[in-house]
Structures are given as C-alpha cells and as structure tokens.
A = this chain, B = another copy of it.
Amino acid sequence: MTNQHDRQTNRPVTSRDVARLLGVSQSMISRAFDPRASVSPANRARIVEAARALGYEPNVIARSLITQRSGIVAIVMGSMENPFYTGMLDQLAQALDEAGLRSLLFRVPPGQDVDDQLPALRRYNVDGLIVASASISSRIAAEWRSDQRPIVLINRAVPEALVATVSCDNYGGARQIADLLIDSGHRRLVYVAGPRDTSTNRNREDGFMERLMERGVGLSGRIDAGEYSFRAGSAAARAAAALRPDGIFFANDILALGGLDTLRHELGLRVPEDVSVVGFDDVEMAAWPSYRLTTIRQPVAEMVACAVSAITAPDGMVPATSRSLTGLLIERGSVALR
C-alpha cells in the first residue's frame, strides 16, 4: 500500500526521507525529478522506485519558492451565469491541464472590480493570468506586465493595448449579421445592447450600426438590456416588441434565448415568421431544437489555444499583441426571408 506519510509522525515524506533511505544526497533526489539534470540512469531508477514506495512527490510549493514558477495559472472570471463562459472555462481548464498547468479560479463578484483582486493574486506566485470575463484597468494590466508574468485577456479589449488580447472579431461578426438580415429583406431592425462597459457590446454594436449605415438601412430602435442574462433578454424583448421590428439582433446568445422565449411564449409572436432573431456566441443551447438560433460561432477552441500558448510562451515577455479571430455565421431557423 502506498502511504504518503510516515506512519508514526504522519508527516509528509520529503526528498530527505528518500535520500536517507537510499544513502544518497538529498539534492540527488531533486535532480532525479528534473529531466534535464544529470543523474546516472541506475540511480534515477532506484530513486523513482524508492519514491514510489514511500509515496514521495516533490512539493510544488517548496519548488516554486525557488523557481518562481508554481505551475499554476490564475483564471479570473466574472459571473458564470453566461454559459458561454462556463464552456470557455471548461476548455481552458482542459487545455491548461494538458500543458501541465493547474487552474486557480478567481471569481469576481458582479459589483466588484477585478483590480481589487489582483494584488491578492501575486501572493500565489502564479505563472500567468488569464482574464476571461471581466474588465481590467490598464493600470493594473501594466503592473502585471512589469511583473514579467504573462497576462492575456480573452474576449476583452483594453483600449491602450498594453496587454495581450485574444478575441473573436466581434465587429466583423456583427457586420455579417447586418448583411444577413438586410439580404433576407428585413427593414425594421432593433439592436438589443449588452452592458455598456464591455468591449464585446461596443464592437458588436459598432459593426452592426456601421454596416446598416453603409447599406442605407436605418435602425428602428435600440434597447439596453443592461446585463448579459436570460432574464434581461426577456425584458428587452418586451421593450423591443413594442417597436414592431421584423428583426432583432441581440448582443449575445443568452440575451437572444431569453428574448426568443418571451417573444414566442409571452408575446405570442412567431419566430421567425413574425420576427427574426439573431444572437452571438453560439452557446450550446443555441443549437437546441426549441431555439435553433442563428448566431455567430466564436472560435472558442482557437481562442483558448491562443491564450494558453501566450501563457506558456518561452519567456514572460509575450508581446502585447491583440489577436482577433473571425467568427463563423451559423444559420439555423431563427431568421426568415421577408
């Protein structure tokens, strides 16, 4: 039976314990666990063998004190009520895991600012920072970079571009939606906006509006949903319906799903016969038969891969590049020809 503890003292077994057992120096044990260190094959074998027998595992904490690397990366997330981010988190955790890194999760409460949390973060010697659904001030971002620790924002842009950023081309995606709606004959269009302070909303709104303008069709109305949630989508749909639109572009899927449901079940409107609706993200539920929501699919897997490789990049000095990946229009059943 593998027993990770000394039976009497119940003390975790250390490298010294296995060194003593084998009659070698403690540092040799350390080296045996470093692939690049020089230890005779014979000794290395003896050591891993003894280590297993004793239940020894190098203590990451102690190691990180010296190496300044903990193998832990912090993921900071705002609310997880948007399923897009839970999906992202899942993939992020998986990708990090495959890179041999652990995820330390920082949840930023709705009202609170990320900035307050970050100082606490540095006490953990994390190897990198991935900010997934929260904004961050450029001042804090700059401090982090001065730390030489990689930081990357997913799906957020920081105006001053001091940090690495990977996101979907929200602007371009919204333009595609404008084209889709216009090409299929819609003329009374309403935009349902997400939170004002998110770059996702800004870019989607800008792209949509500009394309409308370019093609000479006006906007029949703009509703402020206030937050990205199902409930907010419902409320926005009620307000939007009063405008008698023939098409509604919701700033994201969770909003669109909430909107779709109240349009149909509360307002008695048929979607897409009476009104078309489009979202953005392509969360799992968008594909569910009850919704069949036309939307832009964010390339989550690629975004995650980008973020992780920015973290694992050779040196902490990742250039503060902004990568923008293009989304894919997924046409399902929520847009009709007019």
Contacts and interface: CB of A to CB of B under 8 A. Distances in A.
Interface string A50-88: 000001011111101100001010010001110100110
A21 interface: no
User: This chain: how many copies in the complex?
Assistant: 2
A80 B196 CA distance: 30
Interface residues of A, number: 59
A59 B264 CA distance: 55
Nearest to A72: B104
B289 A265 contact: yes
Contact of A125 (B61, B147, B148, B257): B61
Interface in A94-136: 94, 97, 102-107, 109, 119-120, 122-125
Nearest to A124: B60
Q: Tell which of A79, A109, A289 has the most Cβ of chain B within 10 Å.
A: A289
Interface in A285-312: 285, 288-291
A86 B93 contact: no
A62 to B, nearest CB: 6
B102 A147 contact: no
A284 B83 CA distance: 11
A171 interface: no
A119 B65 contact: no
A315 interface: no
Contacts of A81: 90, 284
Interface in A123-162: 123-125, 143, 146-148
A5 interface: yes
Interface in A251-307: 257, 261-262, 264-266, 284-285, 288-291
Nearest to A285: B285
Q: A-side binding surface: helix, strand, loop or mixed?
A: mixed
Given A10-B148, A60-B123, A105 B104 contact: yes
A120 B57 contact: yes
B59 A125 contact: yes
A153 to B, nearest CB: 19
A93 B106 CA distance: 8
A128 to B, nearest CB: 15
A3 interface: yes
A221 interface: no
Given A3-B143, A264-B289, A61 B107 contact: no
Given A4-B122, A94-B109, A104-B105, 8 more contacts: A12-B122, A57-B119, A60-B124, A79-B90, A93-B105, A102-B105, A103-B105, A261-B290
Interface of A: 2-5, 10, 12, 55, 57-62, 64-65, 70, 72, 75, 79-81, 83, 86-87, 89-90, 93-94, 97, 102-107, 109, 119-120, 122-125, 143, 146-148, 230, 257, 261-262, 264-266, 284-285, 288-291
16 contacts: A3-B146, A57-B122, A57-B123, A60-B124, A61-B123, A75-B105, A80-B87, A90-B107, A93-B105, A103-B107, A104-B105, A230-B288, A261-B289, A265-B289, A265-B290, A266-B289
